[in-house]
């Protein structure tokens, strides 16, 4: 839900930058088909897809600094056995909305 809200907010912003790409015809056809399937413009599809990939890639290269007490709390949380949460089980058992 959060991503959908962010996407809507981004669509309302005035865009001033341009990017020109040279791509194979097969790639263009694939992108066009995927954008149509998502009911997005080609630009929306490519920007959102690129943003998602960039965020995933950069998230793996981010470091976090915590003090010794916070690190101990993190380690303790990671070492605890997993708990079954019925609400979460129910949530993930639902089929994906179309």
Tokens at 64, concatenated? 């976090």
Percent of the chain with pLDDT over 90: 59
Domain-embedded: residue 72: yes
Domain-embedded: residue 69: yes
pLDDT digits (tens, 9 = 90+) for 64-93: 788 999 999 999 999 999 999 999 999 999
Cβ atoms of 66 and 78 closer than 8 Å = no
Domain-embedded: residue 4: no
CA nearest to 48, candidates 15, 3, 2, 17: 3
> Which pLDDT does position 95 carry in this prediction?
87
Domain-embedded: residue 12: no
pLDDT digits (tens, 9 = 90+) for 25-70: 999 999 999 999 999 999 999 999 999 999 988 887 777 788 999 9
Domain-embedded: residue 79: yes
Those residues whose C-beta lies under 8 Å from the C-beta of residue 46, and which sit 6 or more positions away, are 31, 35
Q: 85: domain range?
A: 23-93
C-alpha torsion sign, points 48, 54, 57, 58: negative
Number of domains making up the chain: 1
Domain-embedded: residue 84: yes
């Amino acid at each position: 839900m959060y991503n959908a809200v962010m996407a809507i907010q981004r669509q309302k912003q005035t865009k001033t930058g341009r990017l020109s790409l040279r791509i194979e015809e097969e790639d263009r056809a694939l992108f066009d088909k995927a954008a149509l399937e998502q009911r997005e413009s080609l630009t929306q599809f490519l920007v959102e897809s690129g943003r998602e990939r960039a965020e995933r890639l950069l998230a793996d290269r981010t470091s976090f600094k915590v003090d010794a007490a916070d690190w101990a709390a993190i380690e303790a949380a990671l070492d605890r056995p997993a708990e079954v949460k019925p609400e979460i089980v129910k949530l993930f058992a639902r089929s994906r909305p179309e």
